[in-house]
Amino acid sequence: MAVVLVDQDGVLAGFEQGLFGAFKAKHPNGPVVAVADRRGFYAREHYEKLGPEWGKAVDAIIRTEGFYRNLDPVDGALTALEEMRQAGHHVLFDAPYNQGQPGPRLSARADWREVLEPVLAGQQRPNTAVPD
């Protein structure tokens, strides 16, 4: 059995495609940057270079309730998660996909060692996205 840490954006969920679509829908005349043309990690920073109002527009979109929940899964991601679960691996997420599930939460501010050590030592069952 292995413990597998899985990222959300670009691994499970198509963040870039979701942002692109939402931005085009909300700002049809805005300076939309195609997914293939975007550079850098933070979309907000890329759009801010086109004007400060566009960085704020990106923030507004990604902070909209349901934005992350409604992202389409990356091709093959759900199958891979199911295969890991069936193989007996514990799957941990760095995003709140497991809300409502018991167990530790990982976040950008979490002390990863404090969260992972009890799981790795077998003292605590980690969250899983796919119910048993």
Selected catalytic residue, list 7, 59, 75, 132: 7
9 assigned to active site: yes
Q: Which residues of 96-128 are buried (b: 16+ CB within 10 A; e: fewer)?
A: ebbeeeebbebeeeeeeeebbeebeeeeeebbb
Selected catalytic residue, list 9, 94, 111, 132: 9
d(CA 25, CA 45): 20
d(CA 80, CA 109): 27
Helix (H) or strand (E) holding 126: none
Q: What are phi and psi of 114, to 5 degrees?
A: -60, -35
Residues tagged active-site: 7, 9
